[in-house]
Structure 1
Amino acid sequence: MRTALPATATPPAPRLRLRLGTAVGISVLLSQLTSPGLLLAACAAGLLLALAASANGVLPLHSLLRRIASVNLFVAMLWLTLPWALQGGGPQWSEAGAHHALLISLRTNAVALGCMALLAGLDAFAIARAAAGLGLPSRLARLLVLTVRYLGVLDDTRRRIDLAMRARGFRPGANRRTVAVLAQQLALILVHAMLRAERVDLALRARAFATAPQPATRAPRPWRWAAGTAALCLGSSLLWLLR
């Protein structure tokens, strides 16, 4: 007898909007900090929050480590280029470039860890709904959902084409033939994407999908705008004091 898996409950819409708004606000504030000590403290706080989310089962530990590794791969590439300056005798170490690379590295990790902790357990559809609730145009929200949905479809198409190429004896190498075959593979994937987009458009129209924005049915709540303005003023004041 098969047992049904427990379904993960989606958080309420106000909580989703609060989490997304907090993540955006914290990201903006962290991007303006210029003190390495404060940024390092923010990284430590974000890491603790991310580990707490992982301990609660919301964010798996292997997924957290994989995301941190992908972020720091970009940071490592940054350290290979930014701290060096081209002088007459060749590349030389630049203190100013190293300082900027340190600030960018700390900001990137602090923002990434904060967003991982605050948005843990949310998929693209929940984030799109929360963004639409915060004022994102409905068309952009739908575009976000469709993009995330069909990126996986295109990746599956790429894997199937790659499998078919290998079944026909294709082995990639450092030669002109490999470049030509990979260019044909990319063109075929783009053709599949165009055909998929046409079928999706026909399916949406067949289901009476309307692109015009629907009139708002919720009553305006001025206290939300007042709370948002107060939070923005408070954040700006804290940013001015920390600088």
Structure 2
Amino acid sequence: MFPSGVGPAADPAGDRHERRIRSFQPRRSRVTPAQREALLRLWRRWGVEVDGDARLDLAALFGGLPVVLEIGFGMGEATVEMAAADPGIGILAVDVHTPGQGNLLRLAERAGLTNVRVANGDAIILLREMIAPGALAGIRVFFPDPWPKKRHHKRRIVQPEFVELAASRLRPGGLLHCATDWEPYAERMLEVLSASPSLVNAVSSGGFAPDRAGGRPLTRFERQGLAKGHVVRDLLFRRPD
């Protein structure tokens, strides 16, 4: 789709890492001319390929800002809103959806933001191979695919193995913030996160956090869920100091 080294690669990690059940499905919707133009022009400056070959220098990438990893950002509107509201935080936003990548780059440039970088590829490879332990101020997993059919539950990203990997990449005091509008998945998230030996619930009651905790903006997926009568749940878990 793009010339080599100019836009995001189709499969940056290739077969260099083990094959496993993935929590995402690549979406091959059409890239608009505006999104393609943003990718061609901005990818070398703000894009990160998740190839798993080397650790990222987050301090160099964000000029020394504390960094939050956002896993899955849709079309990027909420990411831009969060980045604009907190310019003292760098947001590394990872997804595999090419139109969303282009749209996020376009919106970030239009808003004059310098604290957003867009990563292309598998978030697990990014966390495990490219981010050092204790390097992140936070991790956000907003409205991941709920994989509602029982036979697909193994594809859900919030599993014990993911939680321990994520916790290991948080600095002391770092926050893992999850949100979903699928009630059975919310209950499972709470169970898995509460069982982690590496995290504590930031809510004193030990349950779900208040709606849109931490100033989380209303996302496109959230609007769709609310329109269907779904209940949105936020979960905030912190790595102890």
TM range (shorter): under 0.3
Q: Of the two, which has the highest radius of gyration?
A: 1
TM-score, length basis structure 1: 0.25
TM-score, length basis structure 2: 0.25
Say which structure is richer in strand.
2
Select the structure with the greater relative contact order (CA < 8 A; seq sep ≥ 6).
1
Say which structure is richer in helix.
1
